[in-house]
Amino acid sequence: WGYNRAPRHPVSLLDLHGFDDVYVPANASNGFGGAPDGATTSHDRFFYHEVPAITRQFARAAGCNLTANRPHPTKFDGLRR
Q: What is the pLDDT of residues 8-23, one digit of tens each?
A: 888 887 877 776 777 7
What are 40's strand-pairing partners? 48
pLDDT of residue 81 exceeding 70, the answer is no
User: Tens digits of per-residue pLDDT, 2-55?
Assistant: 567 778 888 887 877 776 777 777 777 777 777 777 788 888 888 888 888 888
Residue 19's pLDDT is 67
Q: How far apart are CA 64 and CA 37, in angstroms?
A: 24
- Segments in the chain forming alpha helices (H): 51-62
Residue 1's pLDDT is 43
Q: How far apart are CA 38 and CA 4, in angstroms?
A: 10
71 vs 2 pLDDT, higher one: 71
